[in-house]
Structure 1
Amino acid sequence: MNSRFAKFAIGQVVKHRIFPFRGVVFDVDPVFANTDEWWESIPEDIRPVKDQPFYHLLAENDENTYVAYVSEQNLLADETGEPVQHPQTAVIFEAFDHGAYRLRPRISH
């Protein structure tokens, strides 16, 4: 079994290597876990390999906010130190401190 650790952490702000958007990680899949249709919709010359972590982001660009699903190979750490302006950040995270978000405590049983 090929064990692999995620490079980016939940709450970390990242930016896309190719496209002009950034976001905060709110979940990580250890390998690709979306549909083949979604994967095949990516142009072949920039299509990522499936055997790597994929990140769920609360993302933003200059025009809007959305949820993105991005391969590790296409992400870089965001060095701006600025928060993400996505409206869902307050639902998932309780604070932004020193360039990263802290998850809200979860109630479980």
Structure 2
Amino acid sequence: MIDRAHFAPGDIVRHRLFDFRGVVFDIDPVFANSDEWYEAIPEAMRPVKEQPFYHLLAENEDLSYIAYVSQQNLVADGDHGPVDHPQIDAMFDGLEHGRYRLRAIHRH
């Protein structure tokens, strides 16, 4: 079991297995999505529920979307470049030193 989050809102991350990256905008300390969503993941790749899960403003070469990803499947993004997602400006104040500054209205 992984008990503490390795990433914070504003961090830019990359998926370990799939070719996409994104910005963390929220964190669940353990899995908090639907059972249907969880069961749709192939069993051999299904992450354990008892770890942080991250909500990301994600992008790949083709599109922007919202992703929900387990901590075990994320690594820090080494590019530190901007993420091209249409909701970035609504959630963040800009990119500074390789991470986004969360707008005050969205801080917990």
Q: Which bracket does the TM-score occupy, shorter chain normalised? A: over 0.9
Instruction: Give distance in 2, aligned partners of 1:42 and 1:67.
Output: 17
Q: Aligned partners of 2:45 and 2:87: how far apart in 1?
A: 29
Per-residue deviation, residues 5-36 of structure 1 (Å, max 9, x unmatched) = 20011100000000000000000000000001
Q: If the length of structure 1 is used for normalisation, what is the TM-score? A: 0.94
Name the Cα RMSD after superposition.
1.7
Pairwise CA distance, 1:58: 0.1
TM-score, reference length from structure 2: 0.94
Decide which moves more: 2-11 or 69-78: 2-11
Is 1:100 paired with 2:99?
yes
For structure 2, the 5+ residue unaligned runs are none
Tell me: CA distance 1:3–1:63, structure 2 relative to 1, closer, same or farther (3 Å).
Answer: closer
Q: Which runs of 4+ in 1 moved over 6 A?
A: none
Identity %: 60
Show the counterpart of 1:72: 71
Matched residue pairs, number?
107
- Structure 1 unaligned runs (5+)? none
